[in-house]
Amino acid sequence: MIEANRQGEVWVFAEQTDGRLSDVPLELMSKGRELADTLGVPLAAALPGADVGELADRLAEHGADKVYVVEDERLGHYQTAGYNAVLCDLIGRYKPQVVLFGATAIGRDLAPTVASAMKCGLTADCTDLQIGDHTDPVTKEHFEKLLLQIRPAFGGNIIATIVNPKRWPQMATVREGVMRMSERREGRTAKIVRSEAKLDGVTLPLTIEEHHRRAKKVNLKAARVIVAGGAGVGSKENFRLLWDLANVLGGAVGGSRAAVDLGYIDHDHQVGQTGTTVRPALYIAVGISGAVQHRAGMQESAKILAINTDPEAPILSVAHYGIVGDFQDVIPKLIKAIRGGEHILQAAEEAQA
């Protein structure tokens, strides 16, 4: 734990694998920039790894004022113990007021370990972060400019705002895609602060016997059209129709958490607070009731079409178009209309030529 430190910087943990930065830290830089500007403090990235110095430029171009680089061969392959030791050392020395992590496999392993070691608070899977004041409801003690950590909670029917008034740093994790990556500003530079990895007395307990990269099965963030299904689709076989529709549209297939849990579709396809956040041109929600965790992951789509048998389904509250009906009946009609539409487009193009 460190004392509340009003001059403390805003930090982003710059996660990288094999010398390649993940998207999340770059996305967090844009939110971090906003928070740092509101607080009037610098934005910094903490970059541990082996041979990662070059990545500092990338972080600067995305908004970092400072980059804390800690290079050591022993940090080449992620191990909790080594990264925890390095981060705790950096936090203890420079006393940032906010530390943000991506809610990735590494971030969700490292952030709670650091929080436990620092005895500070940590809020998982935030969907928004702001700066605001807080008054303790019991003691009436007033705290200015805290990190407001906002996340849906408990079955998605409430949005909780969490604060960490006293035991700093204030830490949060954010899922990939939740924050928008800001434009890269080429040539923007940051102050580089190099330090040695304080790993004396730290044993790295794991023997990594095998390591395999696995490409993600789908890149939902890049899809212009997403056809997503929920529990209402009913079976993996029924999902076939959604794949057909996505194929016709040149889009990708997504799923709600319920659909993933039921085994209709792989977790890589999950949209929502604990999956991927997407903003496609068109999002078609099929048999998805629309818990807030799901809506948090798709409501910024340019156009939303919901197909549901339930006219009261919450998904309709964020939809632009709603079709109340059975998707097994509606999707074939959509496919037919889109194929017909292609003919119209082609005919129009040919007429122009």
Partner 1 sequence: MGYNCVVCVKQVPDTKNITGEAMKEDGTVNRGALPAIFNPEDLNALEAALAVRDEHGGTVTVITMGPPAACEVLRASLERGADDVVLLTDRRAAASDTLATSYILSCAVRKFNPHIVFCGRQAIDGDTAQVGPQMAEKLGFTLLTYMEELLGVTDGRLRLRRNAGSGWEVVSCELPALVTVMETANTPRPKAARKIMKFKKARGAAEVAKAVADAMPDADDAARRAEVEKRIAALEAKGLLIKQWTLDDIEADLEWCGMSGSPTKVHRIQSVVLTGGEYMQVEPTEEAIAELVGELIEDHTIG
Looking only at residues 21 through 50 of this chain, which bind partner 1 when binding is defined by CB under 8 A?
none
| Residue list 239-258, contact with partner 1 (CB under 8 A) | 249, 258
- The first and second tokens of residue 296, run together, are 């948090």
| Residue list 120-159, contact with partner 1 (CB under 8 A) | 120-125, 132, 134, 136, 146, 148-149, 152-159
Distance CA 35, CA 8 (A): 12
Least separation, in Å, of the C-beta of 92 and partner 1? 15
Count of residues engaged in binding partner 1, rule: CB under 8 A:
92
Q: Which is nearer to partner 1, 196 or 329 (CB)?
A: 329
Q: Does 323 sit near partner 1 (CB under 8 A)? A: yes
Q: Which is nearer to partner 1, 192 or 204 (CB)?
A: 204
Question: At CB < 8 A and 24+ separation, what contacts does 233-242 make?
Answer: 233/259, 233/264, 233/286, 233/287, 233/327, 234/287, 235/264, 236/263, 236/264, 236/265, 238/264, 238/328, 239/264, 239/265, 241/327, 241/328, 241/331, 241/332, 242/286, 242/331
Least separation, in Å, of the C-beta of 190 and partner 1? 26
Distance of CA 94 to the CA centre of its chain: 26
Among 108, 145, 184, 279, binds partner 1 (CB under 8 A): 108
Distance CA 22, CA 216 (A): 13
Among 344, 350, 352, 353, binds partner 1 (CB under 8 A): 344
Distance CA 301, CA 275 (A): 16
Least separation, in Å, of the C-beta of 136 and partner 1? 7
Among 208, 222, 351, 353, binds partner 1 (CB under 8 A): 208
Length of the chain, in residues: 353
Q: Does 347 sit near partner 1 (CB under 8 A)? A: no
Distance CA 222, CA 81 (A): 34
The 64-103 site mask, x for binding partner 1 (CB under 8 A), equals: --------------x-xx--x-------------------
- Which stretch in 37-45, 54-62, 108-116, 184-192 sits in contact with partner 1 by CB under 8 A? 108-116
